[in-house]
Amino acid sequence: MNKKKSFKFIMYIITFFLLVYVIKNTNFILVLNSIQKIPLSLLIVTLSLQILTESLLSYQWYRIALKMSLSGSYVDHFASNCVESFFDAISPGAKIGGEVMRIFFLKDELGYTNQDAISLLTIQKAFSVSSFLILSIISIISIFLNFTIIDSFISRIFIIIFAIFLLYVVLYFLLNSENIYQKLNSKNNKNKILSSLERWLSNFNNHILKFKTDFKELLIQVLISFGIWLIYPIKLFLLVSYFQDVNFFYLLAIVFISYFLGNIPILPGGLVAFEGSMTVLLMSMFQITYETSFAISLIFRFVTYWFVILLSMKGVFLWKHKKYVSQN
């Protein structure tokens, strides 16, 4: 048994015992009572925000493809997003299965070449990952800021300034990646890390070239990515705020930390790791009871995971039906 299989086996064992522990020590009556306290109107709002997330994501893919002079309507890219979301949800941990299936969809259904599909994927992920990392760093900074010692207004101003600085760094990199590549390329005796970085930059520059000449479009893409990621903590903020007042920046940290832990490749979609980490963080940061924290994490998970699976299946079915009708 190799190291990778051994690690997975150990993680499965740990997950199994954690599940047994949770089931044995959880008062599911209290969890159900907490779920029942949340009004239907609030659930509808969070579901609507999730639909907005999927719509914005599809619009981003469509807009990038349009800039690259690639085919496909908004509806086509909404369908491709549904395909990726569905396979992301059912594949364990790291989001690879969905990306591969999107490439197949773009090639088979929209007639993309393999290079075009990968280029589109690379550019979108560059915008998305950059925004995610910035928000993750901001959320971690917010945890270390002691709001009882430092005036909250000063703390928030600091976070805003820091966010603007990070945004500037990302935009600078996107606009000057060719210069960075040339400087790196001119160096002699590069180690493996620098050589890998050089190859990545060469590939990245080929993809991002069209966006460098259009700063407005570049800025729009970055803002869309931020908007998509920020909707997640907004949903959690609405749910937790129903029970007590909370700090939004702390919730930002909870969402992104849970997302990181949910990407551990154990069960499909990061099940158990995501709910468990969110429950523990809600308890420790806001002193919310275990049952209420667990209930919130279950509802949040339903909105961002199970509902997405249902929405994705519905989206692909409607797209296939529309395509069938148009051909007959």
pLDDT digits (tens, 9 = 90+) for 155-206: 667 766 776 777 677 778 777 888 888 888 888 777 877 887 777 777 677 7
Residue 150 confidence (pLDDT): 47
Examine residue 17 and state whether it is found in any structural domain, yes or no.
no
Contact 92, 267 (CB under 8 A): yes
Please provide the size of the chain in residues. 328
Please count the structural domains in the chain: 1
Q: From residue 49, give the alpha-carbon distance in Å to each of 232, 235, 296.
A: 8, 7, 16
Residue ranges in the chain whose pLDDT is less than 50? 146, 148-150, 269
pLDDT digits (tens, 9 = 90+) for 71-91: 889 999 999 999 888 887 776
Residue 1 confidence (pLDDT): 53
**DSSP letter, residue 39:** -
**Tokens 């639909």 belong to residue:** 51
Q: What range does the domain containing 102 cover?
A: 39-327
Examine residue 3 and state whether it is found in any structural domain, yes or no.
no
Examine residue 213 and state whether it is found in any structural domain, yes or no.
yes
Examine residue 193 and state whether it is found in any structural domain, yes or no.
yes
Q: From residue 157, give the alpha-carbon distance in Å to each of 141, 154, 166, 169.
A: 12, 5, 14, 19
- With a pLDDT cut of 70, the percent of the chain lying above it is 80
